A and B are shown apart, each in its own frame.
Chain A
Amino acid sequence: AQSVTQLDSQVPVFEEAPVELRCNYSSSVSVYLFWYVQYPNQGLQLLLKYLSGSTLVKGINGFEAEFNKSQTSFHLRKPSVHISDTAEYFCAVIQAAGNKLTFGGGTRVLVKP
């Protein structure tokens, strides 16, 4: 079985400040990792994914995430946020040999002017 924990349910941040959203997972086997974003009244869309190779993954809209196997973490970062980054962000994991995509509880980011 696998699980995903997002440590912060809400993160308020000022415009142009950096933001980090934390994600930890548990799994007994190798996994693939994803970050999705949900803008208000919309479905989810993929920000970035880690499959293998370089542990630093770059995604859309200036986001990046770092896979840390020893700490079983996949934290998401952006060096300078915009008002338009206000959204809910979900970390997700799938086992390399499975097909069940499991999500964390979500982190709501509110960017203030």
Chain B
Amino acid sequence: DVKVTQSSRYLVKRTGEKVFLECVQDMDHENMFWYRQDPGLGLRLIYFSYDVKMKEKGDIPEGYSVSREKKERFSLILESASTNQTSMYLCASSSLALNTEAFFGQGTRLTVV
């Protein structure tokens, strides 16, 4: 059974904290993605990576960074959390062939207080 695992389902952090969201996939996929999901806005792409140590900005990268040191792991970093980063964060992975589906994790609901 294919799996994308996000390290936490729920997180509460304080304003100004550095926050790490971890995602691991067991499908040997080349592509990995981080999205945030907000009501009425759908999923917006923050960053994606198509190879180890490679990354590209998505539509809303401001305030975020990412790290991909190993193929199976893709981390999202909030350098200094702010209340407007309170959201649901979804990680996904897919193989390099574009005609394959993306597999999603269960999501991390982050609240910044």
Listed in ascending order, the chain B residues whose CB lies under 8 Å from chain A are: 4, 31, 33, 35, 40-45, 48, 50, 56, 58-59, 90, 92, 94, 96, 98-99, 101-102, 104-107
Residue from the list B43, B96, B99, B101 in contact with A103, Cβ < 8 A: B43
Known pairs A99-B31, A100-B45, A100-B58; A44 contacts B104 (CB<8 A): yes
Residue from the list B41, B94, B99 in contact with A105, Cβ < 8 A: B41
Known pairs A32-B99, A99-B48; A42 contacts B106 (CB<8 A): yes
The reply to whether A100 and B90 contact each other, CB–CB distance below 8 Å, is no
Contacts of B56 in A (CB 8 A): 100
Q: Is A102 an interface position by the 8 A CB rule?
A: yes
Contacts of A34 in B (CB 8 A): 101
Chain B interface, DSSP helix/strand/loop, else mixed: strand
Listed in ascending order, the chain A residues whose CB lies under 8 Å from chain B are: 4, 6, 9, 32, 34, 36, 42-46, 49, 51, 90, 94, 96, 98-106
- Tell me the number of A-to-B contacts counted with CB atoms below 8 Å: 57
Contacts of A106 in B (CB 8 A): 40, 42-43
Q: Which residue of B lies closest to A9 (CB)?
A: B40
Could you tell me the distance between the alpha carbons of A79 and B104 in the complex, rounded to whole angstroms? 27
Known pairs A104-B42, A105-B41; A99 contacts B106 (CB<8 A): no
Known pairs A9-B40, A46-B101; A103 contacts B35 (CB<8 A): yes
- The winner among A90, A98, A104, A106 for most chain B CB atoms within 10 A is A106
Contacts of A100 in B (CB 8 A): 45, 48, 56, 58
Could you tell me the distance between the alpha carbons of A90 and B102 in the complex, rounded to whole angstroms? 13
The reply to whether A101 and B33 contact each other, CB–CB distance below 8 Å, is yes
The reply to whether A44 and B90 contact each other, CB–CB distance below 8 Å, is yes
The reply to whether A43 and B98 contact each other, CB–CB distance below 8 Å, is no
Could you tell me the distance between the alpha carbons of A6 and B50 in the complex, rounded to whole angstroms? 28
Residue from the list B4, B44, B98, B107 in contact with A99, Cβ < 8 A: B98
